[in-house]
Amino acid sequence: MDGGTLDRAGSRLRYWLDGPTGAPLVVFSHGAAMDHRMFDPQVPALTAAGYRTLTWDIRGHGESKPIGDLPLSTRDLTADLLAILDELGEHGPLCVGGQSLGGYLAQELVFRHPERVAAVVIIGSTCVTMPISRRERWALAASPLAFRLWPAGALRRTIATHTAVTPAAREYALDAASRLSKAEFVTVWRAVAGALHPEPGYRIEQPLLLCHGDQDRAGNVARVAPRWAARDPRCRYEVVPRAGHNANQDNPGWFNETLLDFLRTHYPVDGR
């Protein structure tokens, strides 16, 4: 695995590349409090199938320190990803994917730069361009304060137990969450809380693989997903069995098989 760093807006962003040079690129962005390692089960499967992968640590997470210029928005984080892609000369169209917060970034990229996206993969993420209820808006707006008041150790343990169902994925989640200070996590979560921007009439026109675990209890992910799937004309909607919010980690064999089937249909290695 190769990689590099990019200094941007007060942070040193860390990224990793794997797979054949010049192969179709699949980009993955991780969830809040996680890091690039959450896609370790996917990278070997994708490179073995002939794809190239890009994973990275969103600022404040993992090895992308310090968190840098504040305040942060998901638009800022998407701009970070675009800056990495520009640095690498990867102008697309490519496959962009993400889990939870990373799914927000994938949606922002395809919303603002659809010409750079060939296909989209979303894992355990809500739709940023669909409206939500007044009660859900209030709860989301209040969540950064609630997290700020939560003791750091208890918050990290809760993140781990609520994002995954398998022991290995929970152990990873606790380790990843421990690499952020509570202040960094709250800063990132403010970006999450402010990410929604309903766009009446908008549709993702690119092929979309929309997934969540059958035991995903995060926010309104599972409840809203069927409505999202019905909205976008080229959406393939899959519920990952025996999996929670970090579904790609809880059941990597099932997820990888589904992902590769989607890519072979909509983003093949041979370009046909």
The model's pLDDT over 164-212, given as tens digits with 9 standing for 90+, comes to 999 999 999 999 999 999 999 999 999 999 999 999 999 999 999 999 9
Whether the per-residue pLDDT at 271 is higher than 80: the answer is: no
Q: Name which residue leads in pLDDT, 132 or 196.
A: 196
The answer to whether residue 272 is domain-embedded is no
**16-33 average pLDDT score:** 96
Q: How many domains does the chain have?
A: 1
Is pLDDT above 70 for 272? Answer: no
Average pLDDT for residues 100-112, to the nearest whole number? Answer: 98
Strands 2-8 and 11-18, by their bridges, are antiparallel
* pLDDT (average), residues 111-117: 97
pLDDT at residue 261 is higher than 90 = yes
Q: In degrees to the nearest 10, what's the CA dihedral of 200, 122, 119, 4?
A: 120
Q: pLDDT tens, 11-24?
A: 999 999 999 999 99
Compute the average pLDDT of residues 98-117: 98
Q: Is residue 230 part of a domain?
A: yes
In this prediction, residue 3 carries a pLDDT of 87
pLDDT tens sequence across 34-86: 999 999 999 999 999 999 999 999 999 999 999 999 999 999 999 999 999 99
Q: Whole-angstrom Cα distance, residue 114 to residue 96? A: 11
Mean pLDDT, range 149-168, rounded to an integer: 92
pLDDT confidence bin for 134, thresholds 50/70/90: confident
Helix then strand then coil, in percent of the chain rounded to 5, is: 45, 20, 35
Q: Which two tokens stand for residue 211?
A: 């997934």
- What is the C-alpha to C-alpha distance for residues 121 and 259, in angstroms, rounded to an integer? 8
Average pLDDT over every residue of 95-120: 98
Q: Is 223 exposed, middle or buried (0-12, 13-18, 19+ CB in 10 A)?
A: exposed
pLDDT in tens, 136-147: 888 888 888 888
Alpha helices in 27-73 (DSSP H): 43-48
Strand partners, 29: 98
Average pLDDT, the chain: 95
CATH number at residue 170: 3.40.50.1820
Buried b (16+ CB within 10 A) or exposed e, 185-207: bbbbbbbbbbbbeeeeeeebebb
Q: Which residue did the predictor score with more confidence, 151 or 230?
A: 230
**Residue 271 falls inside a structural domain:** no
Give the separation between CA 154 and CA 115, rounded to whole angstroms.
Answer: 43
Question: Where residue 98 falls among pLDDT bands split at 50, 70, 90?
Answer: very high
122's CB contacts (< 8 A; 6+ apart) are 97, 98, 103, 106, 107, 208, 209, 210, 211
Beta-carbon contacts of residue 272 (< 8 Å; ≥ 6 apart): none
Q: Note whether residue 262 is domain-resident.
A: yes
pTM of the model: 0.96
Domain of residue 33, residue span: 2-266
Enumerate the H helices of 99-181 as residue ranges. Answer: 101-112, 134-149, 152-163, 167-177
Helix (H) or strand (E) holding 258: helix 252-266
